[in-house]
Amino acid sequence: MAQNNLGNMVEKYTTRLDQQITVGTCTADLNMNQDLLGEMTGAGVIDVATIAMDGLADHVRGRGFVRGGAELKWTPYQLEFERDREFVIDELDDAERLRIVTANLMSEFNREKVIPEIDAIRFARMAENAANMDAATYTTPQQAFDDLLLAEECMEDNGVQLSGCILYCTSKYKGLLRKAQPYRMGQGEAPNGKFDTFDDMRIRIIPANRFMTAIDLLDGTTAGEEAGGYKIASGGYRKTADTDIVSGKDYYTKSGETYTKVTSPAKASLGDYYELSGQGKAINFQVVHPSAVAALSRLAKLRYFAPDVNQDDDAHKWQYRLFHDLWVYKNKKELIYGTHAE
């Protein structure tokens, strides 16, 4: 009875987990309108609706209305990220306890592993495609404030209202903004320097472990990657293309498989130098207008195998498979502006 009851919960669990991802990410404001999404195939291809229509026409009294056209077109898109994990739960005779254990396992997996990874991928993707994502180290509140003003100028120069923008930042960066904007306490008021918006922009505080310019996804099978998940991108070495020494830039020489930092780079030796690229950096802040991106995720229907069906073990088996992606529109990269650590 427990096995049958659990099998009947597959669709319900799938819906709940999908909703948890949709609203639980720090980047939930960037999700596409779900009404414009069609069905997804097992290969991670999803149909997205686009609407084309004619504009207004002159109205002539007594002649009725000018007929126009409206077209709804469904375009298939391949979601880039496909991730999965299999869970095995020892057989439990108590059906109610089995449902509780399973629901909590899946929910905790979503909260602790899935949602942070989705956010990390999205922030890295936006950093990669941002019109501005320069290095900056803030030693004073004024420096942090000045860079945010530049971001606001960029948003307004590109025709969007600050009230529609989202300021993603670390708690440290928000603290600098707080210090840069002294407040006055009126008589009878309790001290409170908290704020949820800045110049009308909504503020979202992002945990450091998902706020990086580049990440490496762990495949879950390679030695050292069995735990799965992700980590900050380690980058790689490549021959430099510089024609002159760039001040402050690190160069390396290669001997076998070992790279050594050059203490005093010389232009004459540039042909032998390498540079480290693709490293992930901690992000300080990102100002984003939601119209610049389209984020979506879709949990493929969970697969369940009862102990009598599971050939590997006398246990309940669950297979979790997730597809997701974030697209940055080429003509709206100016609506992503931020800085990252040196």
Q: Which residues pair with 11 in a beta bridge?
A: none
Query: DSSP secondary structure string, 253-315?
Result: EEETTEEEE-SS--GGGGGG-EEEEEE--BEEEEEE-GGGEEEEEEEEEEEEE-TTT-SS-SE
Nearest to 322 by CA among 34, 106, 81, 36: 81
pLDDT value at residue 85: 94
Dist CA 107 CA 114 (whole Å):
10
Largest CA distance in the chain: 86
Locate tokens 């069905």: which residue?
39
Indicate the SS3 state at residue 37. Answer: strand
Locate tokens 């040196």: which residue?
342
Dist CA 167 CA 178 (whole Å):
14
pLDDT value at residue 142: 95
Tokens of 222: 């390679």
**Dihedral angle at the C-alpha atoms of 219, 221, 224, 226, nearest 10 degrees?**
90
pLDDT value at residue 94: 61
- The H or E element containing residue 144 is helix 141-157
Sign of the Cα torsion 114, 117, 178, 155 reads negative
* C-alpha neighbours within 13 Å on the C-beta side of residue 65: 5
Phi first, then psi, for residue 219 (nearest 5°) are -80, -10
Amino acid sitting at position 180: A
pLDDT in tens, the chain (342 residues): 444 567 678 888 888 899 999 899 999 999 988 777 787 777 888 888 877 888 899 999 988 899 998 888 888 888 999 999 998 887 765 667 778 888 888 999 999 999 999 999 999 999 999 989 999 999 999 999 999 999 999 999 999 999 999 999 999 999 999 988 766 555 555 555 678 899 999 999 999 999 999 999 999 999 999 999 999 999 889 999 999 999 888 999 999 989 999 999 999 999 999 998 889 999 999 999 999 999 999 888 788 888 888 888 878 888 999 999 999 999 999 999 999 998
